[in-house]
Amino acid sequence: MKMNLDSNLVSVAWLNSHIDASNLIILDATINKVIDISSVRIPNARFFDIKQKFSDVTAPFPSTLPSTEQFQKEARALGINSDSVVVVYDDKGIYSSARAWWLFKVFGFKNVAVLDGGLPEWQNNGFTIETYKFEDFPEGDIEAKLHSELMTNFDGVNDFSLDKNTLILDARSEARFKCEVDEPRAGLRRGTIPNSNNLPYTVLLKGYKMKSVEELSKIFNNLVEDNIKVVFSCGSGITACILALGSTLCNINNLVVYDGSWTEYGTLT
């Protein structure tokens, strides 16, 4: 039986109860995961390779947005159809899964959700896991259409930093934002985007899971004014998408992710 999604975040209990839906595609978006027959997964999950398949590997900065053609080709190779329901998870709880979720939004696919708590929460609840097996999928028919307004680049974020109707939120830790510690990327200088504010992505989480919408609303209501554009940045465009997810759950619209984030900005300035 086919189904549709009505939320951008689903629980492990929900996924377990719908796991046999005919149009469900479960994606493991764990970053830098080496897939072999010893790797565990939620049953029938397919590996969404952010770094190699769903990034522009020719770009100078990590995790750069792929072309529309690349995204469509790789999503079809995973068997994703226009009428699929996609649930994305990772092995940290909520981390890179939010980036995968945002990529689907950027390319016009709306029937996608993040699994709250990811693989750790799935295992904590005692649900079935299995090991990966090498498999091919029937080619999907998903049609990708770029929504460029959901992403920005170096020039765009410079303009946004001068716009009084735009709020830039940086998802890095407070210590990194305040330039108290070195950046994890070798050779990258410390610093912040002008006129940006700090909201560490960890503030939105409670353990492996997202905080409740009520708790998230209190966080964002203290930062985001009505009718303002919100731009999210981080180190390399991954955890910025966690802020985008939290904002979306609070029905905040007009959201943009800075694709290159501090890795690009700190290199080019």
| Residue 104, both tokens | 């689907």
What are the helix (H) ranges across the chain?
12-18, 68-77, 96-106, 118-124, 154-161, 174-177, 213-221, 240-249, 261-268
Size of the chain in residues: 269
Amino acid sitting at position 215: E
SS3 10: strand
Q: Which of 179, 234, 241, 250 is catalytic?
A: 234
What's the CA gap between 127 and 183, in Å, rounded? Answer: 37
Check if 234 is active-site.
Answer: yes
Amino acid sitting at position 115: L
Report which DSSP code applies to 104: H
Phi and psi torsions of 254, nearest 5°: 60, 55
Residues assigned a catalytic role: 234
